[in-house]
Structure 1
Amino acid sequence: MSTHKRNLTRRRVLGASAIGVAATGAAVAGGTGLLGTASAAAFGYRDDGTNYVVDTGAALVFKVSKSTGDITSLAYKGKEYEGYGGKHSHVESGLGASTVTIRQTGSTILVKVVHGPITQWYAARSGQNNVYLWTNKADASFTATRYIVRVKPGMFPDTGSDAWDSTRDKIIEAGDVWRSPDGTTHSKHYSGKRTIDYDYVGFTTGSAGLWLVRSNHEKASGGPFYRSLLRHSNDGGAGLYEILHYGEAQTEAERFGLQGPYVVGFTDGQAPSSSLFHNNLDTSWADGLGITGWVGKAGRGKVAGVGLKGMDAKYAYTVGFANKDAQYWAKAAAGTGAFSCKGMLPGTYTLTVYKSELAVHTGSVTVAAGATTSLHTLSLTGDPSVAATIWRLGDWDGTPGEFKNAKLMTYAHPSDGRAAKWTGNVTIGSGSEAASFPAYLWKDVNDGVLIYFRLTRAQAAAAHTLRVGVTDAFANGRPRVTVNDWVSAVPTAPTQPDTRSLTTGSYRGNNHTFVFNVPSTAWKTDASQYNVLKLNIVSGSGGTAYLSAGTAFDCIDLLA
């Protein structure tokens, strides 16, 4: 039976731990990377009985298994880099028995791997030290979509938040979070980057570099601010990942269809050429290859916006586009807010403008092939920061960035030795309140944090609205508030990802604002006395410690 028909769980999938000669000038014209020192005359492939062996005509020779479609060898300048623990490089956790074919079209060699709902493609271009990859997934038979490049141990330095030593470090959570003797924590999850923040990941020794240049993620899910594992390294080997749908901390439904190209490439230690980046990559050479689902430049459109009105100069703005079939985003220009997004598949998209990571405007836009959709200035009317307040803790930006430990949490576990204590009562008006207030609150760790504040007699004579903004939650954790002797009702849990997030480097879920209408009878009538706001996490589920029910804060304020 084909393995794709098995009902695979996320843990099972994720835990299983062209013939001819092309001139040098033609390869350069392709705009796809640096040439190796070897002669392009060697470009071609052969069948060794078990693998298709592809010589790029540069310094890279790679092999693709004829039975599984795994990459079984990546030899750069005669040195083997691929594989560890008896496993090779592949889509998902390996497809198993597959139909694998190879052919050459001009200066391109194309390998096609078919296994049920997944088709994987590899392409080599004459004279380049790159492998171009596409993944076409038709349904949810596999519960995740990733490609992992497995690298032999000892090829590159094991450094960074995503590196650990299993002979020395101790597992502290779920088999994939480690603590070193110095108290720092490490995990493959701790990339510290959002999708919008990077074009490539990889390793270098200074004299040899192995890189994975990401695709445009148009068929991925999670949007521009999604965080996921990008690489790992340890004493057992290293890995580079193209994550397209991981199933962890996901805020969107999975998209299906062709994703790519993404690129695995070698250099002599330097970063990969910017000509490989998805916004720069010339893929016209792929138009005639017959890749299922491929849509070339002529079949795509563009959106161009004049600008944004109502921006806060302290923040970067991003314009996102999403429908059930594709997602895109573009950075808005500082000052004007002008934006442009090219290479979009035809269709109607929800347009969302983000102040940092907070949605402050939504609309709709339709894209047509070969055309530019021009938009007039968009007025931003959804920023909660414009409301008049008595006090505000943090700022409305869709992140916990102003709060204690927030930045560390994108590349470390909450128990990390570098983290400040998670307790953090604050007094409004004392200075540096936000920096003293914990970014996260857990039922079993720091529940019951207090905020002290004074009101004038006039303010205390009226009812006020208290807003508590959150960015994510674990195990349906949500805040219930107590103001002096007044206790709020238990709020309804909003929709949030149902996997780990706060302990795996991500605070990104579905931004939500809890609104509490506090009556005038709740306040202290003596203006010299402090009112006490208490925040408790409520939930009917969750484990213990940092896996108990919890939430991440965006902003808390009391409206005037």
Structure 2
Amino acid sequence: MSASPNRPVRRRAFVLGGAAAAGTAALSGPLASPASAAAFGWSDDGSNYVVDTGANLVFKVSKTNGDLTSLVHRGTEYQGYGGKNSHVESGLGTSTVTIAQSGTTILVSVAHGTLKHYYAARSGENNIYLWTNKADSSVSATRYIVRVKAGLFLNDEPDSYTYAPTVIESADVFVKSDGQTRSKHYAKRRVIDYSAIGWTTGSVGLYVVRSNHEKASGGPFYRSLLRHQSTDGGGLYEILYYGENQTEAERFGLQGPYVIAFTDGGTPSSSLYPGTLTTPWADSLGISGYVAASGRGKVAGVGISGRDTAYAYTVGLADPAAQYWGPARSSDGYFSIGGVLPGTYTLTVFKGELAVHTTSVTVTAGATTTLNTITVASSNDPANASAIWRIGTWDGTPSGFKNADLMTYAHPSDVRAAAWTGNVVIGSGGETASFPAYIWKDVNSGLLVHFRLTAAQAAAAHTLRIGVTTAYANGRPQVTVNDWVSSVPSPPAQPSTRSLTVGSYRGNNNTFTYSVPASAWLTDTSRYNVLKIDVVSGSGTTSYLSAGTSIDALDLLV
């Protein structure tokens, strides 16, 4: 039964501890405030549909364009800054907006061309559930931004630029007076690392709980902006396709739910997290593209052999329509990935972030596809090759290299970064820590690695390998060994947008191999051979936006 525009339906909402009454999802926050008798229902104020969740949350959705125009929790307005609302993209424009109530659920539906967006409220909850169905590329990207008034939450983390008024790159990277850099891009976290993003004052928290990202692109290790705060206000994001540093084509279809959640200051309840959240109450709401749990399947693997137990392993599923992932158990490699849409997927086993095994798997609705033990072939892990020397670890990341950790939350010019220049002597100790995570044509190209060979080693040809995780502007390494110069390798497929300066090394892992002839080596074993690594490319501009690349590992094989 739908509520009358002027007479909201009133329902009692009883809350026990942190869980809602039986049949509803748990409230956000471990100590969610009890909701005494309150009005659950909706009304029409002429310009907006006004939804009262019957707890401590009242929100408004524009009848004209589907914007979230008001977000009032415990009497405080949180929504909006600079005359802007919360919405898909930067606002959809004129849309068809409707509202309906089904028992203890209210659904606001927004249709804009081929895109459909939904807001759902549940009786007695301080949450808004959102879905976005993008059918094609008529909308350039897919994000939802919750715009939050200035001054309600404090934030001087890397993703803030409140205190950093000087622009150093594009219009979105800033430097403070102390030399530390700030940008909304500096989120630190990969998708796999977080379930919710937000702020807390200690007594109230506002978060966006991400969806399972089944229709997003980039896989479990993708990084994108999650939140920002500036002098005019803050933003919390659900990024589904941003078009920056993307390694996959855009996927279309229904994405969600993701949740705007208010808490009593703690993090949202894990019952709202992707992989945990269930929404049987939404099965009959008529959401375009919605697939209930009964229409999904599961993949489970009894184990993975051939692992290096020093690393975490992740199993991913991907096809043009959807993506999923889950951790492999450290003891034996067991994994289970549920809620998967029917289809045939490429299953990839990642050591760290490096793909070391792929196969095909078919998922059917209502069934579990069980896989026998997966064996990672020794040859699929480059770390298994015998090396005369090795710098870094083959894990698909620049971890361990100089400045690597800092680069996920700072600009390369940040005052906290060690000098990007500096050469390495094999055998001196600390070779990896002294080798730069990134190399740019205009910054530190020409890095030198000094090493000795035995007489037997110098008498033979050897393979030199350089693994990279991404590249900017087609930057790739050309090497010189003493007087021998390699050819210029072809650039592999990599994202075309900024990466190294906006907190992400994630692109397409690629290994460059160089066959160095015996004639290249010095025959005097007391002398150091010198490897010079140059970044070559005709693209890019200057400084940290010149052609560059991120290093995974480099070694000289036996």
Q: TM-score range by the shorter chain?
A: over 0.9
Match of 2:69 among 62, 67, 72: 72
Secondary structure, aligned partner of 2:101: strand
1:313, distance to aligned residue in structure 2 (A): 1.2
1:297 aligns to 2:293 (yes or no): yes
> What TM-score results when the alignment is normalised by the length of structure 1?
0.95
Residue in 1 that maps onto 2:4: none
Residue in 2 that maps onto 1:431: 429
1:418 aligns to 2:405 (yes or no): no
Cα deviation per residue 1:268-310 (whole Å; 9 max; x = unaligned)?
1111111111111121111011101000110000001011111
Residue in 2 that maps onto 1:30: 24
> What TM-score results when the alignment is normalised by the length of structure 2?
0.96
Residue in 1 that maps onto 2:489: 491
8 A Cα contact 1:40 1:127, kept in partner: no
8 A Cα contact 1:249 1:498, kept in partner: yes
Equivalent position amino acid for 1:455 in 2: L
Secondary structure, aligned partner of 2:550: strand
Match of 1:47 among 44, 60, 68: 44
Residue in 1 that maps onto 2:209: 213
**Structure 1 pair 537/195, CA: closer, same or farther in 2 (3 Å)?**
same
Secondary structure, aligned partner of 1:181: coil
1:141, distance to aligned residue in structure 2 (A): 1.4
Equivalent position amino acid for 1:128 in 2: E
Equivalent position amino acid for 1:550 in 2: G
Secondary structure, aligned partner of 1:275: helix
Residue in 2 that maps onto 1:227: 223
* Structure 1 CA distance for aligned equivalents of residues 315 and 268 of structure 2: 27
1:363 aligns to 2:359 (yes or no): yes
* Structure 2 CA distance for aligned equivalents of residues 116 and 278 of structure 1: 28
1:41, distance to aligned residue in structure 2 (A): 4.0
Q: Counterparts in 2 of 1:188-203, with a 5 A limit?
A: 188-203=184-199
8 A Cα contact 1:216 1:279, kept in partner: yes
8 A Cα contact 1:471 1:507, kept in partner: yes
Residue in 2 that maps onto 1:446: 444
Cα deviation per residue 1:525-556 (whole Å; 9 max; x = unaligned)?
11111000000000011110000000000000
* Structure 1 CA distance for aligned equivalents of residues 376 and 162 of structure 2: 48
Cα deviation per residue 1:134-179 (whole Å; 9 max; x = unaligned)?
000010112210000000000100221111226x520000000000
Secondary structure, aligned partner of 2:186: coil
**Structure 1 pair 236/28, CA: closer, same or farther in 2 (3 Å)?**
farther
1:375 aligns to 2:371 (yes or no): yes
Unaligned ranges ≥5, structure 1: 1-17
Residue in 1 that maps onto 2:233: 237
Residue in 2 that maps onto 1:3: none
* Structure 1 CA distance for aligned equivalents of residues 122 and 510 of structure 2: 47
8 A Cα contact 1:19 1:107, kept in partner: no
Residue in 2 that maps onto 1:503: 501
Match of 2:336 among 314, 337, 340: 340
Residue in 1 that maps onto 2:107: 110
1:30, distance to aligned residue in structure 2 (A): 2.0
**Structure 1 pair 83/482, CA: closer, same or farther in 2 (3 Å)?**
same
Residue in 2 that maps onto 1:185: 181
Equivalent position amino acid for 2:173 in 1: V
1:336, distance to aligned residue in structure 2 (A): 0.2
**Structure 1 pair 40/127, CA: closer, same or farther in 2 (3 Å)?**
farther
Indicate the percent of aligned positions where both proteins have the same amino acid.
66
Runs of 4+ in 1 over 3 A off after TM superposition: 25-29, 34-41
1:33, distance to aligned residue in structure 2 (A): 1.7
Secondary structure, aligned partner of 2:329: coil
* Structure 2 CA distance for aligned equivalents of residues 142 and 108 of structure 1: 28
* Structure 2 CA distance for aligned equivalents of residues 271 and 29 of structure 1: 22
Equivalent position amino acid for 1:51 in 2: N
Residue in 2 that maps onto 1:7: none
1:89 aligns to 2:79 (yes or no): no
8 A Cα contact 2:13 2:55, kept in partner: no
**Structure 1 pair 361/41, CA: closer, same or farther in 2 (3 Å)?**
same
Secondary structure, aligned partner of 1:349: strand
Residue in 1 that maps onto 2:97: 100
1:27, distance to aligned residue in structure 2 (A): 3.8
Residue in 2 that maps onto 1:163: 160
Cα deviation per residue 1:417-438 (whole Å; 9 max; x = unaligned)?
0000001200111101000000
8 A Cα contact 2:161 2:184, kept in partner: no
* Structure 1 CA distance for aligned equivalents of residues 13 and 487 of structure 2: 73
Unaligned ranges ≥5, structure 2: 1-7
8 A Cα contact 1:19 1:106, kept in partner: no
Equivalent position amino acid for 1:45 in 2: W
* Structure 1 CA distance for aligned equivalents of residues 401 and 21 of structure 2: 50
Equivalent position amino acid for 1:21 in 2: R
Match of 2:319 among 319, 323, 331: 323
8 A Cα contact 2:297 2:341, kept in partner: yes
The Cα RMSD (Å) is: 1.2
Secondary structure, aligned partner of 1:350: strand
Match of 2:406 among 408, 422, 432: 408
